[in-house]
Chains A and B, each alone.
Chain A
Amino acid sequence: MSTDTAAQAPAPHKEAHARNWKGLGWGFIVKLLLMMVVNAFGVAAIMSAWNARAWVILGVLVLFLVAADWVYFSRRLLPLKYVYPGLVFLLIFQVFAMGYTAYVATTNYGAGHNGSKQQAVDAALIQAEREVSGSATYPLAVVRDGETLGFAIGDDGAVMVGTEDQPLEETGGTLDDSGRPTAVDGWEIVPRGDLLSDQALAKQVTDLRVPVSDDANEGSLRTREGSTAKIYRSSMVWDPDADTLTDTDSGVVYSPNDRGTFVGDDGSSLPTGWYVSVGFENFTKAVTDPNYAKPLLRITAWTFAFAFLTVATSFLLGLFFALIFNDDRVRGQKTLRTLFILPYTFISFLTALVWRGMLNAEFGIINDWFFFGADIDWLGDPWLARLSVIMVNLWLGYPYWFLICTGALQSLSSETLEAAKIDGAGRWRQFRSITFPLLLVSTAPLAIASFAFNFNNFNIIFMLTDGGPNFDDTSIPLGATDLLITAIYQISGVQGGRADYGLASALSIVVFVVVGIVSALAFRQTKKLEEI
């Protein structure tokens, strides 16, 4: 740390620092305080990463913290001082997230393959746990330390305590006559009455398993009622050297296969597996699996159609209004403009929900007001639902294009139009040959951005139709108005249902590529337009 220079001032290099030194500026003090806070949090996070044995996170944390100190206490690296905070978030939550998506896309991560191999082994051991017949019964006290629950037992006059992560170990405390702990050092005893009255707590207690020792094969303590504990031992035995699980009851030996599943020699397999790399299987699954291929193809086509139609219709309607009302002879233009863009000021997720109500077949006002109370099932029929989605997005989107086109029209040079008028061009001709091309040049980049945005317009679809009505020729809950992004959301299973992170990520990558290509092509096209 260089305390002899107010670090905020990059003093002219030719002068000696001492002559230029004005003492510690308050800016420096603020910076010092901020960095102290950052370092404190950083070190705390690094320590808990150490405790959790999360080495990758630990490494990244150290890297970011060292870089932060280096950037802010070095007198060079001036630009980085301004970019660094944003850069950290960008790297983690955008760049890394994209890279990780690509990685997950090549695995079978998802339901049944949800963690590491070690976790799968632990899960198998727990699942096969049975009460050891004839095992001793230990008098038990449920203890807590803040949020953490633990078991304390009396064992031959000694107090043993342990938690889910911490195997039993001896500790100080006192026992009553029946051998039940009455006080445990560092722990607070949960009164039995609490267990009886608090359902959630009781559930936590009956789910809790405290390992007897570090060796998982030794089993764990569990309780049914909260006052006595028994040892439960798994009927499975894990042999790390042979890489097999053996069921001691049935004698079946389970060994891992290359799909991330334990398969027994009798052909059965264990429900919990781990995720492994499957190469490009997810990508091929999307186009060959009959359950996915056809719906996904239709969804892709609809996604393109939706994005294009939405931009085209709202652009045209916005332009139409702009052309009509960009007229100085119309009074109260400002008020009119404000009223015209009302849909734009309404929060868009609410818009979709409101329209969902208005398009309701039975009670919706669209049927009531405009169709004489007919029971048109707007959101229940595939094509009507598609039409509704476009119409709602038109309502939502035209004000944007009205504003843009009004702005663009006002900035068109009136000289070219005058010249055209003198040359005898009619109004339609002026519009077609001059106004419209010029307008396209200035709005094309926005139209492309809007296309890319609507290509992934999750909210409007999800809130309005939930992607429905569902296709009837597939078991996967995808529907006629699903866009790729809502389909990905559905397939990923983050909201429930069968999770398939691998396939979802693979589809995300495909969309990334599509959006990238569209943007790149379009920006080149814009450059061409500008040259005209």
Chain B
Amino acid sequence: MATDAPAPSKDARRNATRRKRWWAEVGWKYPFAALVIFYAAFPLVFVLSASLDERGSLASASKLFSSISLTNYQELNDTLFWTWMGNSLVIGVAAAVGAVLMGAAAAYAFSRFRFKGRRSSLTGLLILQMFPQTLAFVAIFLLLISLGEVIPSLGINSKIALICVYLGTALGANTFLMYGFFNSIPAEMDEAAKIDGASHAQIFWGMIIPLVRPILAVVGLLAFIAAFNDYILARVVLVSQENWTLAIGMYNWVSDQLTARWGIFSAGAVIAATPILVLFLSLQKLIVGGLTSGSVKG
């Protein structure tokens, strides 16, 4: 050891260059990542802090976590927030379940049966889904006025009517996404089940549905988020405050008195966003898979 005095310094030099290279190639990515995370997260942190701010105005919110209190959350009880939240959840869940069932059934038919007009129907759906339903909101508004004179529960200001409107896109938006997934399940399995005496309905409910659960989850979540996020159709259909969804109600808060009600708004935003944030992160892998096969959010 004592004999090679220069060796450590050579090592040290090598270490130094290695460390330099590491910094140049990998190391800088950590501080950079911190920067990206700051960019991604600061609005969320700001909302969280504003929701805990005791004075609850936009002006007082700019100092992060200057006070921690739950007043804003308690004040939500004096508003229609929970009614709106309930409406949004009911409408979103109903639209999602409907979209999943109808989309899955249609995808099953297109994937498993061979019938006349199959290809042209698929092309038709592909073309139809390009046209956003929201653009037809005037027609939908007028349609619901007429429908409401016959069936009041399908008229203006009815949540059921809004759900039906959302279900109008179930086939166009989801069949393709599911169709590809259904095709990836070998048809031999159907054949085997058929030979064992299973009916088409038994194959669908008992065999296919359990196998395609991932895509069902994705379609359900996307349909739920689409309904939860929708403003224009909901605003056109739902008239009275008790029937509003969160998107309408919270927009009204902010557009009315942006600065004064900031605390309540933030508290509402935290409550509304958290469940979806959790759901989204837990289904992240599935959703990314679904996204790459062709559906868009955001």
Contacts and interface: CB of A to CB of B under 8 A. Distances in A.
Interface of A: 6, 8-10, 25, 27, 45, 48-49, 52, 54, 57, 78-83, 85-87, 89-90, 92-98, 100-101, 104, 109, 321, 324-325, 327, 329-330, 336, 338-351, 353-358, 360, 362-365, 368-369, 395-397, 399-400, 403-404, 407-408, 445-446, 449-450, 452-453, 456, 458-459, 462-463, 466, 485, 488-489, 492, 494-495, 501, 504-505, 508, 511-512, 515-516, 519
A141 to B, nearest CB: 27
A363 B259 contact: yes
A95 B37 contact: no
A288 B165 CA distance: 34
B138 A463 contact: no
Contacts of A353: 250-251, 254, 265, 269
B93 interface: no
B250 A512 contact: no
B155 to A, nearest CB: 11
Contacts of A85: 101-102, 105
Among B25, B105, B168, chain A packs the most CB atoms within 10 A around the CB of B168
B276 interface: yes
B262 A494 contact: no
A330 B23 CA distance: 11
B168 A89 contact: yes
Given A79-B115, A324-B32, A458-B134, A358 B43 contact: yes
Interface string B112-147: 010100100100000110111111111111110011
Given A89-B164, A101-B138, A347-B228, A449 B62 contact: no
B298 A396 contact: yes
A286 B164 CA distance: 32
B169 interface: yes
Contact of B232 (A9, A365, A458): A458
Among A81, A94, A368, chain B packs the most CB atoms within 10 A around the CB of A94
A328 to B, nearest CB: 10
A446 B134 contact: no
Contact of A343 (B40, B134, B228): B40
B66 interface: no
B131 to A, nearest CB: 5
B143 A452 contact: no
B189 interface: no
Contacts of B5: none
Nearest to B40: A342
Given A89-B168, A93-B165, A458-B231, A82 B134 contact: no
A339 to B, nearest CB: 5
Contacts of B96: none
A27 B200 CA distance: 11
B109 interface: yes
B108 interface: yes
B273 A346 contact: yes
Interface stretch (B9-17, B70-78, B209-217, B277-285): B277-285
B2 interface: no
Given A27-B202, A357-B258, A504-B138, A94 B288 contact: no
B262 A349 contact: no
Given A45-B151, A93-B143, 19 more contacts: A8-B202, A52-B150, A94-B168, A94-B169, A94-B172, A100-B142, A104-B142, A338-B281, A343-B40, A343-B43, A345-B281, A346-B43, A350-B250, A354-B269, A368-B62, A395-B43, A400-B297, A492-B138, A516-B127
Given A100-B136, A104-B142, A357 B262 contact: yes
A508 B150 contact: no
A10 B199 contact: yes
A48 B150 contact: yes
Given A340-B36, A353-B269, A466-B255, A511 B46 contact: no
Nearest to B278: A345
A527 B137 CA distance: 33
A282 B130 CA distance: 24
B207 interface: no
29 contacts: A8-B201, A25-B199, A57-B147, A82-B108, A83-B121, A90-B171, A93-B168, A94-B169, A94-B172, A95-B128, A96-B143, A98-B131, A330-B29, A347-B276, A350-B250, A350-B273, A353-B269, A363-B62, A365-B62, A395-B40, A396-B298, A403-B288, A489-B137, A494-B236, A512-B131, A512-B135, A515-B132, A516-B127, A519-B130
Interface string B264-294: 0110010011001100110010001001101
A368 B60 CA distance: 12
B296 A97 contact: no
B187 to A, nearest CB: 15
Interface residues of B, number: 100
A482 B74 CA distance: 37
Contacts of B147: 57
Interface in B138-186: 138-143, 146-147, 149-151, 164-165, 167-172, 175
A369 B41 CA distance: 15
Contacts of B89: none
A25 B146 CA distance: 41
Nearest to B130: A519
B62 A342 contact: no
B192 interface: no
Contacts of A368: 62
Nearest to A337: B284
Contacts of A109: 142
Across the A-B interface, give the 9 residue pairs with the lowest CB-CB distance, nearest first: A93-B168, A86-B102, A82-B109, A86-B171, A97-B136, A100-B139, A82-B105, A345-B280, A79-B109
B251 A52 contact: no
A245 to B, nearest CB: 25
B294 A349 contact: no
Contacts of B137: 489, 492, 494
B24 interface: no
A445 B294 contact: yes
A104 B168 contact: no
A345 B276 contact: yes
Contact of B292 (A81, A363, A404, A488): A404
